[in-house]
Amino acid sequence: MKKINLIITLLAICMLMITGCKKNNLTVTYDANGGVGTMPTQNFERDEPQALLPNAFVCEGYWFKGWNTAPDGSAQKYANQQIISIQKDMTLFAQWRTIANTYYVLFYANGGTGTMENQAFIEDERQELTPNTFIRSGYIFTGWNTKTDGSGYQYRDKEWIYLEANLALYAQWTNSTGGGTPCPGTPTVKDAAGNTYNTVQIGSQCWLKENLRTTKYNNGEVIPIITNNEQWYSLESAAMCYYNNDIGNAASYGALYNGYTVDSEKLCPVGWHVPSEEEWGTLANNLDGYDIAGYKMKTVYDWASGWGGENGNGSNESGFSALPAGYRVGPVVGYFTEMGYETLFWSSSDSYYWGKTTVRLKAGRKELLTTSYDNVYGLSVRCIKN
């Protein structure tokens, strides 16, 4: 037993000696790796977090993109001035990338008139296309395409894109905005905030032709406008907002409302209401079924291309005139997304799964899709006459 205790004691002493011999003062050495300039060796204490020095190397024709523990960039990566802790001496090699090229978008009127300057893009930098300024008498601009006849890849006006080569875009035009006629005896209707809306008759139903943008219930009560993301997703009461908190979006795309506003039963103008799931179904049936109804409801312009670059617009032969208004995400985040690509409309019907039943239109899709969303989401509203 004494021998065992002696062995344990000796092992403990050895471990202490080994630990005590560990080097606590460590260094990071910086290597230009093809660049020029000097950087001092940086001192670190073992396991003590510290920011790497800011890069001071340069390399003609290249820009600095970070550090790596291997010259060829195949090992551990570190960002400039990243906070790290180390357990041994380390050499970091500067990593370089060729300075990005400049490419251009060339805009062509394609039957229209006017001029637009070429737009410069830095390679791999996302940028918004210059708004269209071409005009064509008797026609509506519907977007851009890489082919004059619209058979190529489609882009919407002011779409955010990347470039890896020069790009020629041809204006696309239509002389028809679709079909539809105003509701007999009710061509327009006004909400409690004073906004006036056009109407459209589809089968036996009378619909607003525009998304709701009221800031008041039909009894005059003001609906809270919430801009803060955290406050939005934490709410358990009625609220509204504008996409990207920009009231300028309201004229075309309407406002976005959470599901609690729908529960009030006072959101639409007097004599109108938020449609039920069944009433959305009636609309789909009036337009030859869910599989094609979306195409007949979407506008002939403003929708982005589908996944394959196909035309994302609809025919709007119904006159419903649905624009890609996007929506506001509810749980945890509260941010805005999908303008140009999707629009979602509330129904007044509770979902079997969660929240409320909703209908959805997507760029490049012809269907009227059904799904469900929780009350904390911010979606568009279309009203139907009682």
| Cα–Cα distance, 256 to 211 (Å, whole number) | 9
What's the pLDDT band for 6 if we cut at 50, 70, 90?
A: very low
Q: What is the CA radius of gyration of the chain?
A: 30
pLDDT tens per residue across span 294-311? 999 999 999 988 777 778
Instruction: Kindly tell me if the per-residue pLDDT of 7 is higher than 50.
Output: no
More confident residue, 39 or 21: 39
Residue 265, amino acid: E
Cβ atoms within 10 Å of 278's Cβ, excluding its own:
11
Q: What pTM was estimated for this model as a whole? A: 0.71
CB-CB contact of 374 with 328 (8 Å): no
What is residue 8's three-state secondary structure? helix
| Cα–Cα distance, 151 to 163 (Å, whole number) | 20
List Cα–Cα distances, 371 to 192, 282, 378, in angstroms.
Answer: 30, 16, 15
Tokens 């004599």 found at: 271
Residues in CB range of 243: below 8 A, 6 or more apart = 249, 253, 256, 325, 326, 328, 336, 339
Pairing of β 154-155 and β 140-145: antiparallel
- Domains of the chain with bracketed CATH: 22-98 (2.60.40.4270), 102-174 (2.60.40.4270), 188-385 (no CATH)
pLDDT at 62: 86
pLDDT at 305: 81
What's the pLDDT band for 22 if we cut at 50, 70, 90?
A: low
More confident residue, 311 or 51: 51
pLDDT tens per residue across span 154-165? 899 999 998 989
Instruction: Kindly tell me if the per-residue pLDDT of 14 is higher than 50.
Output: no
pLDDT at 15: 46
Cβ atoms within 10 Å of 331's Cβ, excluding its own:
9
- Which burial class, exposed, middle or buried, applies to 327 when counting CB atoms under 10 A from its CB (0-12, 13-18, 19+)? buried
Half-sphere exposure of 235 (CA within 13 A, CB side): 28
pLDDT tens per residue across span 287-346? 999 999 999 999 999 998 877 777 889 999 999 999 999 999 988 788 999 999 999 999
List Cα–Cα distances, 352 to 54, 83, 275, 276, in angstroms.
Answer: 56, 49, 17, 14
Q: Which of 162, 82, 93 is nearest to 129 (CA)?
A: 162
Cβ atoms within 10 Å of 346's Cβ, excluding its own:
29
Instruction: Kindly tell me if the per-residue pLDDT of 18 is higher than 80.
Output: no
